[in-house]
Structure 1
């Protein structure tokens, strides 16, 4: 099984051009299956000996451990892909994961900030220190372009077209898109670049990294999370807020402002419109809340109910 997992990881990297994070996620899920076999079945099966019944036992185990339905669904998708690869490579005759039912995942509405809360957060970093200027540029850019944190930290100075105020962003599946940024983000980037100092010891390609840590090297996504936590504490905003919350807020505010769904899909770099449609539920919920607060009959109904 270990050899088959290594071959599958190589296939993902070379043929599917999957990101390092995707490869790690798939291999971690498959190692979890191996650990289950060794711990609860007493042996590690080769792909040809894994049956649908064995996989059903594994899925039951996941449910008993109270894994989220989304996690179970992700692991099932991984198993289907892995065993389909094994069939293709002649490591097994049939795909035992094909018959497994994926649990229906309840969709959670994404957490977002109001425009006032976003403004409060963006104003939190100091405008008088290099770190403050960098942090403000990070927050402004993330919100203005609706970036994933992985996209943010992989940005280079050369990815920013100052004349057009757009960023060339490398998204999921190494798909590139053009992301416009607003005047506030452009100004924040300009001010940050005046104090940005890459480490002289780095090769030229790494010196081009846009956002740097205190050693002059490319900032990590974990560092962005820690930076955000500091400003959440400072402003008293919801501690559940993450860098991805700014992306959710970006999409929600665009739809609230009248942007069409297809445009938001393009700006977010979503492959499927279905993924983007979750934000229409957020906007509809807010519309309903506004209606119930403002409409006299809705308010009257609520008072009568209480």
Structure 2
């Protein structure tokens, strides 16, 4: 790792105080580039960098690498390690609407679960909890019993290490309590596998895939979509989801637009006019 890159990693870690995951991502992305090209990043031109990054066919992955590179060069320019302000253009990504399930679809999946077993109670509670809280799967699996405060969830292991409080529907709290009562073992961990250890992300994925045919993250999208469809303010949804920027939450406004379009088509007299 070059001296400039070491200085940058120290900067994002100490001065900017980014999360460990963010620092690791920067370090991994940039040190891998230096290693593959055999030169310090500060000595590379745009053409060489684009050539090295060309192997990433997934545009989102490519843009993440480009973001790391741009952050590094911005740091170098501001600290006079470089005389030129290098900024690579991001790859254009078509806007994809988030996949989501309706409440009825989720209910249909829940009806398939055999709640006479501890595993069934866990699966039922997990799916309900994800849909009722809108938590990321990492946040959900890190849950401890003391994080449930009445009908509120204290999200302590949030992305970017930003804690938040989220209200939980009574039906989800009841399902969770039924599972915990049957589980009996109070080791602080909420979601456990058959061995008694913490449930893994892969296992959680298998559970939602089995009953709903989707990943756990789709339940987060479903949560947000339900709120927006019900008339929730966008900034409230932002707070509940733990989004740092309102721009991230705005992807769900397509629901409002679709509702408005359908209302116009049904109610407006000109919508049925044939030209």
Find 2:224's aligned residue among 245, 251, 257: 251
SS in structure 2 at match of 1:264: helix
Deviation digits for residues 68-127 of structure 1 (CA, Å, limit 9, x no counterpart): 2x222211111122344556788x43576x321223332211000112112112333222
Aligned CA distance change for structure 1 residues 114 and 14 (closer, same or farther; 3 Å): same
TM-score, length-normalised on structure 1?
0.77
Deviation digits for residues 11-42 of structure 1 (CA, Å, limit 9, x no counterpart): 555554444443443344335424642xxxxx
Cα separation, 2, equivalents of 1:71 and 1:195: 43
Shift of 1:173: 1.0
Find 1:167's aligned residue among 146, 153, 157: 153
Deviation digits for residues 193-230 of structure 1 (CA, Å, limit 9, x no counterpart): 1022558xxxxxxx312211222222222221112122
Q: Is 1:80 the counterpart of 2:70 in the alignment?
A: yes
The answer to whether the Cα contact below 8 Å between 1:80 and 1:95 also exists between their aligned partners in 2 is no
Gaps of 5+ in 2: none
Q: Is 1:269 the counterpart of 2:242 in the alignment?
A: yes
The answer to whether the Cα contact below 8 Å between 2:33 and 2:41 also exists between their aligned partners in 1 is no
Aligned CA distance change for structure 1 residues 245 and 291 (closer, same or farther; 3 Å): farther
Cα separation, 2, equivalents of 1:73 and 1:32: 15
Aligned to 1:66: 57
Find 2:92's aligned residue among 101, 104, 108: 104
The answer to whether the Cα contact below 8 Å between 2:133 and 2:166 also exists between their aligned partners in 1 is yes
SS in structure 2 at match of 1:152: helix
Cα separation, 2, equivalents of 1:79 and 1:94: 16
Aligned CA distance change for structure 1 residues 102 and 248 (closer, same or farther; 3 Å): same
SS in structure 2 at match of 1:277: helix
Find 2:166's aligned residue among 179, 200, 205: 179
Q: Is 1:126 the counterpart of 2:114 in the alignment?
A: yes
Identify which range, 141-150 or 125-134, moves more after superposition.
125-134
The size of the alignment, in residue pairs, is 274
Aligned CA distance change for structure 1 residues 300 and 116 (closer, same or farther; 3 Å): farther
Shift of 1:50: 2.2
The answer to whether the Cα contact below 8 Å between 1:17 and 1:173 also exists between their aligned partners in 2 is no
The answer to whether the Cα contact below 8 Å between 2:34 and 2:41 also exists between their aligned partners in 1 is no
Find 2:177's aligned residue among 190, 194, 208: 190
The answer to whether the Cα contact below 8 Å between 1:135 and 1:227 also exists between their aligned partners in 2 is yes
Cα separation, 2, equivalents of 1:119 and 1:287: 26
Cα separation, 2, equivalents of 1:197 and 1:17: 40
Aligned to 2:126: 138
Aligned CA distance change for structure 1 residues 4 and 230 (closer, same or farther; 3 Å): farther
Shift of 1:297: 6.1
Shift of 1:294: 7.7
The answer to whether the Cα contact below 8 Å between 1:125 and 1:135 also exists between their aligned partners in 2 is yes
Aligned to 2:255: 282
Shift of 1:258: 1.3
TM-score, length-normalised on structure 2?
0.85
Aligned to 1:218: 198
SS in structure 1 at match of 2:154: strand
Gaps of 5+ in 1: 38-43, 200-206, 233-238
Cα separation, 2, equivalents of 1:4 and 1:198: 51
SS in structure 2 at match of 1:231: helix
